[in-house]
Structure 1
Amino acid sequence: MEYIDSFVIENERFFYFSLEKIINENPKLEKLPLSLKILLEANIRNSKNELTTKKILDIFANRKDEFINFYPSRVVLKEYTAIPTLAELAKLKEEKLKSKKLNLSVDLLLQYMKENEDTYKLAKWCDKNFSNLRVIPPGSKIIHPINLEYLSTVLHIEKIEEKFLLFPETIAISDYKDNMTNSFGVLGHKLESIDALATILGLPLKIKLPKVVGIKVVGKPKDGVLSSDFLQVLLDVLENANLDEKIVEFYGDGLKYLTLENRTKILNKASSYKALCSFFAIDEKTILYYNKTRQNEDFSKLVDKYLKTQKLFLNEENNLEYDESIEFDLSNIFPRVMPNLKNEVFKDKNIVLSLIDTSNGFLNPFLIIHCALVAKKAYEKGFRIDSKIKAFFKTDLTVYDYLANLDLLKYLEGIGFYFVNTNGKIEEKLSPNILTDCSISSGTLENNYINENIKLNYTMSASLVVIHSLIGSMKLKVFDKLNPNELWPEHSEVLRYLEKIDDTLYKDIYKNIFLGNEKWQDIIVEKSESFPWNDDSSFVQVFPFKEESFKDKINIENGEILALFNNEIKTKYISSNIQITPYINVANFLQEKGVKSFDFGTFEDRRGCSKLMVLGAFDTNEIKNMMVSKEGAFTKDFKTGEIISFYEKSKRVHQSQKDLIIIADENYGIGETNDWAAKATKLLGVKAIIAKSFGENHRKDLIKMGILPLQFIDDDIKSLNLKGYESINIKNSEIKKDLKLDAFIYKGEQIYQIKLKLRLDNEFEIQIYKNGGLVPFILKDIV
């Protein structure tokens, strides 16, 4: 089965895994959605043998509910996932890794990271010491589409044995709300923090073959309907559909009315409609946008050639087969004016506050120019906003400048809009009496603005904000000779202005993207084999990596109980991101390092400090260990009778070379996945957790940290009358799926034998546990 093919462009030969050859052998694959074809190509390209290839082809051809791999070519990390991952990476480099090149390209988006010398130094050191890692530093002038055209290549080129191999770029991103690449054909998948380090080291993400819902966009919008009108209707449709963990793939001739900026808005909301991701294949609009923002037409030709050869280019004559289909007709949409609170009803009230806001990161030139042209026509007809209305245009200098360059800025200012910088506060511009008994405010360009002091708040397109501001009320009517239809620009007129925007707009956005703020620039780091750790830091500290021996059997002997928990222990309480208070174990640690209580900050700020996160684990009033009378991370040392912290108990048990066990009732670890909930448990020395049931995400995270999840079958804490002084033996000569094993509980002279179910639910989880966790598993291959 030889699937490699090639083509020549610009006198250079490029190789690729041919989907055409694959499909010729397996015709059922021809009608796969484009997103699945991208996954198919990656799995075939990375297949190690013919048997694996046959299994992959069978899974895709028959759409089986089985595991495949997601192979990212690039990883994108945001601030609070990046710092602990970088700390672990730096520690690995000095202990295990010899290469300065990571398995994958890594982008760190740190533009909103709080100023701190320790975290700045760590990020800058990694930037300097790993060749395929790049940092967008704090203070960068940045807009969300950075995840679109600037960092993305769309097509990945890898040189193997003097040959250039092409394949689609795919990304794994830690904060999926910021994943915009799916809007132009780069398939992205959410990266959980606990998976970040292993993924960077080359371990693919294990996922079930996703179901794909096709959204066919048809029709042409009515006159007066803007993308901000039909976007909300589309989002309502998606939120009411059953899209849980499915890929949502868009196609149809109506897509030409959705700009890339519109598409990013849909992607940004994927979590609200519970989809695995949304996906727009590349089309001519994408290529044009890419040309304009990257100024690399040669590479665009290569992208175009590859995608069309592989039939991954968006085709209006779509004959692909989706698991489900939904049709969305743009011609059925009308201009929308929406109350911002659910209990509001439409009322014709006078407007006192108008706001157009482009500051939430979605730069949509079409909508901005459209509203500016409405203002232009109004200005030329002599209309002005009543001085009683406070009208604001909130944006950054980039938008301000290009409106000025297009000679449109003066019209918005001329009719009565005041420009406010992105970080400016509208309330500071209002006099106190304005906010006492006002009746209504009109809304924003891309997001909802609600002022709690104004009785009614409405959201609409930016152009309608201009119209209603001129009318002075919420009723669309001819008022003082103002006819809204006469102010509405033609679609073609907006496009003419868009064509005037040259690539200097994008150059201005990104010209200083790697510069950073002054504090970042002042940090000096050198190339070195190891990072210069600061032992006094409470922001960046990491424990050394422990060697994990391979386990081919289960052997927990004389296990001591760390805690007995009741039902519903949530991950957000096992490890929280909240404010650090002066009354918990972490406070003493910080004070010993000279940190004043008013500078404690949050756990989220200090996620890069392993010891702090371990000290803070379980330490909340929301958690109570049934072994003691107080809340938080406290337990009992039955040898001395002392009430001590989890951390102190961990140290004592480690010295005696025994294992620690946590026992819980139902729903242990429910809630969202939380890397430190599992990491801190591991670092406390916990070898196994026995519970009546687990939160599924946390169960998987425990395995990734090498912790054994075991489930009660007929017993529980109450029936066994556990107090916490007992010792436990759990042994079995093999590790396999659906295993039921014996546990022996020693209560003084009494011995209780119970059955437990091993919660390693598939072969992948078994291999991860046997190797001691996710990172040791991948390190065995690397080292």
Structure 2
Amino acid sequence: MSANDSLKTLSTLKVNGKEFHYYSLPKAAEKLAGTADISKLPTSLKVLLENLLRNEDGNTVTTDDIEAMAKWLKNKNSDREIQYRPARVLMQDFTGVPAVVDLAAMRDAVAKAGQKPNQINPLSAVDLVIDHSVMVDKYGTPESFKENVRIEMERNFERYEFLRWGQKAFENFRVVPPGTGICHQVNLEYLAKVAWTKEQDGKTFVMPDTLVGTDSHTTMINGLGVLGWGVGGIEAEAAMLGQPVSMLIPEVIGFRLTGKMPEGVTATDLVLTVTQMLRAHGVVGKFVEFYGPGLDHLPLADRATIANMAPEYGATCGFFPVDQETLTYLRLSGREEETIELVEQYSKAQGMWRETKNEPEFTDSLELDLGDVVASLAGPKRPQDRVAMPELGKNFDLILETSGQSEEKDKEVKVKGKDFSLKHGDVVIAAITSCTNTSNPSVLMAAGLVAKKAVEKGLTSKPWVKTSLAPGSKVVTDYLGKADMTQYLNKLGFDLVGYGCTTCIGNSGPLREEISAAINEGNLTVSSVLSGNRNFEGRVHPEVQANWLASPPLVVAYALAGTTRTDLSKDPLGEDKDGNPVYLKDIWPTSAEIAEAVRLVDGDMFRREYADVFKGDDEWRAIPVGEGETYSWNDDSTYVKNPPFFEGIDKPLDGLSDIKNANVLAVFADSITTDHISPAGSIKASAPAGKYLKENGVEEKDFNSYGSRRGNHEVMMRGTFANIRIKNQMLDGVEGGYTRHIPSGEEMSIYDAAMKYVNDDTPLVVLAGKEYGTGSSRDWAAKGTRLLGVKAVIAESFERIHRSNLIGMGVLPLQFADGEGVKEHGLTGDEEISITGITDDLKAGQMLDVCARRKDGSEVSFQAKCRIDTGNELEYYRSGGILHYVLRQMLAA
């Protein structure tokens, strides 16, 4: 707690006879009255201000920092750097395993330096939810769930054994076992407190619940009035180890909602509309805060749906202040009455309680009448590309025209051994999946009602569609069962396949062999329809090029239709038992029907399912737990290996130096995502990672996914820049992770070329366009980049998390001047690049000189901005990365 409290804001609050201590914003307002009226601050900034008041120490947080928050109101922006300390950290297992691997490696490094390894421990509360490992291997049968869980445990035994050790070895570290739910839904339904408490010096302090998470959709919790966002695993590890999150006081874009949602429109339609609007407005690196009278009619689950997709609209977070609806949800989800009372009293005491009549001041604002929202999808490869449902068929024909397939758009490929053919636009995957929508009872009950009405009409899913239901928690199956929806979903093939992230993260599992063969034989552009938040190229399934985000009831509808080349507002889904056409309007539930079903959800469901949330099933508890403060690394493991990041940590630091005569590893266009950069999805046998696994005795059927092998740097560095859809501009018309090795002129995999450069001691740079690093908070996008020998990335612009991660791994992000880029400077990737000005006097935001020497000896010179934005980031870069900085600080103490 505050060592200084220069504004004397420490106060007490009595709730249910118990005394709580807190740092009062109204008291701060009195002292800062001459600066600005902080009651007008957006609520999200009030949370940051309280954090500064509570952590003021005269060093990392000063009175000037606190005053800067008040002065924000003058221009509605700030270039002030602050040190923010979230209360806790949330992880999922894909990002959590490498984080725990790093912690274990740090313990080894500390032991090697002759110090006690157990000083490496999370200092903040950490919850890791195993939710990213279940794949849709089995589907469409009552045995799907049981079989998928069995396969998951077999595939991931080494990883789970390691996590069981971590659960025992580290303090402040809890693991939610597999088969429980998606981390963001578990966070929303159980882990989040809204008002966080902490015992210190015999006193109980209360504060806003805040967190960072190792998944970009950590933002979902902002729907509950809890400030949180995704950071890279690297930054999260530093936060666990007591390092503050260094950030600039953000701009806050207000999003005013008015009116009510019309009949037949879902929360998914709303969020796709919001995503499109905010992407067009431009909110990267900014907070978005929702306000206005429309919130009075917006359920908590709908708010969480909108908050979840903040990464898709580009914002750091999409925040909803605490109000009566927050309390209603806390009560519904089985939280204790004492907690709910504390949330209300504390929020009101701090001026953080939303009142419709009191609207804050924002940097800028947008407005949406909820009555204007229409049924929508988004795709085929970006979440912000919304398409009104009636326009989807025309949109798909345009895709075929653009790809040069319009002349063959009606081509049919007979599916071997079946009595049907496949065509362009056919839906081969229909998945109710993802944290975005499976936390929302209204859209899931709507899906159940659509299934019920469809079955009663005699409709069935088309036989070429792979159907699946992967809820975000066991509560979902409880209420679907109570509403008698399960049997109808099952009859359409939407049997339970697992509790976790499946199709949305590429764990869609294999298509049936005959379907896959037909797609490849005909070079067909087929579709997936999923209730997810991500549809980037190559993400959902390598053979499915068009991926459409949609509400759960629309997922069911498109499984019935079997194609996306249709207008469901007027084309039939199929025929009833008497041969009459059945239309979507015939099976679409009314708002009243949905509301009646949602009323069946009750707090007992939540209390029952979360009673033993950390216990796990018999298989989990039977996994042996290793002893010892340091991990006994298994040299034969292909899942978990001791990474090389901390080699030489006990030696003095080298000073900063210029990058001289670097070769270009790759040149990329705009919107290269972390899915393109970081290994994700399935591992191909022909890829460098697949060859490595085969050389180590792993059969192709046991490759598992890249995500599951994030604890093995050998696999991950081989999969970096290896996405099947990535396009290196150094090669004409070539897709996939290939480059030209400049000295030899030979075309080869990016990994193989990088290793040749590393062996020759040649530094590397990557050149890119706008929005480099868009998407998930994948730390391996930065870790892999570093292990391949890349010293700098020069791009036209960066997405927030990836830029931070690059610095966290000691890779320099540089930004072309406005209006400049690869094309403007005539760069091809054949040049030798030298970057000067990287000295011990380097400043955040400094302009550096770049010289590109062509093969003919001519040169092009330009300046690029050092995108190390804060003093803390500069310290991390000097140390070779954020964890290196933390470790050196510990060893020097």
Deviations 1:627-657 (A, max 9, x none): 123233689xxxxxxxx8644764x67xxxx
Residues 451-600 of structure 1: pairs in structure 2 closer than 5 A: 451=559, 453-454=562-563, 457=566, 473-474=582-583, 494=595, 501-511=601-611, 513-516=613-616, 519-544=619-644, 545-546=646-647, 547=649, 553-555=655-657, 563-565=663-665, 567-568=667-668, 576-577=679-680, 579-583=682-686, 585-586=688-689, 589-600=692-703
Q: Which residue of 2 aligns with 1:105?
A: 125
Distance 1:646 1:448, change over 3 A: same
Q: Of the candidates 100, 103, 110, which is equivalent to residue 86 of structure 1?
A: 100
- Measured after TM superposition, the shift of residue 160 of structure 1 is 2.0
- Does the 8 A contact of 1:706 with 1:772 survive in 2? yes
- Is residue 20 of structure 1 aligned with residue 34 of structure 2? no
Q: Which residue of 1 aligns with 2:225?
A: 185
- Is residue 362 of structure 1 aligned with residue 438 of structure 2? yes
- Measured after TM superposition, the shift of residue 312 of structure 1 is 0.9
Matching residue's letter, 1:301? E
Greater CA deviation, 169-178 or 705-714? 705-714
Q: Which residue of 1 aligns with 2:77?
A: 64
Partners of 2:813 and 2:390 lie apart in 1 by: 48
Q: Of the candidates 55, 71, 75, which is equivalent to residue 65 of structure 2?
A: 55
- Does the 8 A contact of 1:142 with 1:513 survive in 2? no
Deviations 1:189-222 (A, max 9, x none): 1212342322222223333322223233333556
Deviations 1:390-444 (A, max 9, x none): 79997878556546656x669x97x99868423399x99xxxxxxxxxxxx9x96
Q: Of the candidates 863, 870, 876, which is equivalent to residue 768 of structure 1?
A: 876
- Measured after TM superposition, the shift of residue 267 of structure 1 is 2.0
Greater CA deviation, 17-26 or 704-713? 704-713
- Does the 8 A contact of 2:218 with 2:230 survive in 1? no
- Is residue 157 of structure 1 aligned with residue 175 of structure 2? no
Aligned-CA RMSD value: 5.2
Q: Which residue of 2 aligns with 1:622?
A: 738
Partners of 1:37 and 1:23 lie apart in 2 by: 11
Partners of 1:646 and 1:222 lie apart in 2 by: 55
- Measured after TM superposition, the shift of residue 359 of structure 1 is 5.6
Partners of 1:577 and 1:718 lie apart in 2 by: 32
- Is residue 338 of structure 1 aligned with residue 389 of structure 2? yes
Matching residue's letter, 1:19? L
- Does the 8 A contact of 1:730 with 1:743 survive in 2? no
Which is greater in Rg? 1
- Measured after TM superposition, the shift of residue 71 of structure 1 is 2.6
Partners of 2:616 and 2:193 lie apart in 1 by: 23
- Secondary structure in 1 aligned to 2:90? strand
Partners of 2:829 and 2:224 lie apart in 1 by: 59
Partners of 2:590 and 2:860 lie apart in 1 by: 79
Distance 1:563 1:88, change over 3 A: same
Greater CA deviation, 566-575 or 736-745? 736-745
- Does the 8 A contact of 2:666 with 2:829 survive in 1? no
- Does the 8 A contact of 1:227 with 1:258 survive in 2? no
Identity of aligned residues (%): 26
Distance 1:685 1:458, change over 3 A: closer
- Is residue 607 of structure 1 aligned with residue 714 of structure 2? no
Partners of 1:280 and 1:24 lie apart in 2 by: 26
Residues 381-420 of structure 1: pairs in structure 2 closer than 5 A: 385-387=456-458, 402=479, 405=482, 420=494
- Measured after TM superposition, the shift of residue 34 of structure 1 is 0.6
Partners of 2:836 and 2:289 lie apart in 1 by: 51
Q: Which residue of 2 aligns with 1:759?
A: 866
Q: Which residue of 2 aligns with 1:74?
A: 88
Q: Which residue of 2 aligns with 1:212?
A: 252
Partners of 1:384 and 1:692 lie apart in 2 by: 52
- Secondary structure in 2 aligned to 1:13? strand
Partners of 1:566 and 1:729 lie apart in 2 by: 21
What TM-score comes out, normalization by structure 2 length?
0.67
Q: Of the candidates 496, 518, 526, which is equivalent to residue 422 of structure 1?
A: 496
Q: Which residue of 1 aligns with 2:729?
A: none
Distance 1:757 1:292, change over 3 A: closer
Deviations 1:12-58 (A, max 9, x none): 32111110111112232220011111111112322321882223322
Partners of 2:838 and 2:781 lie apart in 1 by: 26
Greater CA deviation, 500-509 or 193-202? 500-509
- Does the 8 A contact of 1:370 with 1:494 survive in 2? no
Deviations 1:532-575 (A, max 9, x none): 2111111111235231766584357xx99674446438776765
- Does the 8 A contact of 1:627 with 1:723 survive in 2? no
- Does the 8 A contact of 1:358 with 1:445 survive in 2? yes
Q: Which residue of 1 aligns with 2:887?
A: 779
- Secondary structure in 1 aligned to 2:294? helix
- Secondary structure in 2 aligned to 1:207? strand
- Does the 8 A contact of 1:75 with 1:105 survive in 2? yes
Partners of 2:577 and 2:284 lie apart in 1 by: 39
Distance 1:508 1:217, change over 3 A: same
Matching residue's letter, 1:632? M
Distance 1:257 1:573, change over 3 A: closer
Deviations 1:349-392 (A, max 9, x none): xxxx9x9986655244456668989999x9xxxx9944467799
Q: Which residue of 1 aligns with 2:212?
A: 172
Partners of 2:772 and 2:749 lie apart in 1 by: 18
Greater CA deviation, 261-270 or 29-38? 261-270
- Does the 8 A contact of 1:65 with 1:208 survive in 2? yes
What TM-score comes out, normalization by structure 1 length?
0.76
Greater CA deviation, 309-318 or 54-63? 54-63
Q: Which residue of 2 aligns with 1:33?
A: 42
- Secondary structure in 2 aligned to 1:210? coil
- Is residue 131 of structure 1 aligned with residue 231 of structure 2? no
- Measured after TM superposition, the shift of residue 584 of structure 1 is 5.5
- Is residue 251 of structure 1 aligned with residue 291 of structure 2? yes
Q: Which residue of 1 aligns with 2:137?
A: none
Q: Which residue of 1 aligns with 2:416?
A: none
Q: Which residue of 1 aligns with 2:323?
A: 283
Q: Which residue of 2 aligns with 1:2?
A: 8
Distance 1:632 1:694, change over 3 A: farther
Partners of 1:124 and 1:292 lie apart in 2 by: 32
Distance 1:7 1:398, change over 3 A: closer
Matching residue's letter, 2:106? L
Greater CA deviation, 762-771 or 626-635? 626-635
- Secondary structure in 2 aligned to 1:341? helix
- Is residue 703 of structure 1 aligned with residue 833 of structure 2? no
- Measured after TM superposition, the shift of residue 525 of structure 1 is 0.3
Q: Which residue of 2 aligns with 1:432?
A: none
Q: Which has the higher contact order (CA 8 A, sep 6+)?
A: 2
Deviations 1:240-276 (A, max 9, x none): 5444433222223332322111112212333333232
Q: Of the candidates 312, 318, 324, which is equivalent to residue 352 of structure 2?
A: 312
- Does the 8 A contact of 1:340 with 1:448 survive in 2? no
Matching residue's letter, 1:775? L
Q: Which residue of 1 aligns with 2:237?
A: 197
5+ residue gaps, structure 1, are 346-352, 429-440, 636-643, 654-658
Distance 1:111 1:55, change over 3 A: closer
5+ residue gaps, structure 2, are 1-6, 111-116, 134-151, 377-387, 397-426, 499-507, 513-528, 530-549, 723-735
- Measured after TM superposition, the shift of residue 83 of structure 1 is 1.5
Partners of 1:555 and 1:740 lie apart in 2 by: 12
Deviations 1:49-70 (A, max 9, x none): 1882223322442333313344
Greater CA deviation, 445-454 or 262-271? 445-454
- Does the 8 A contact of 1:181 with 1:188 survive in 2? yes
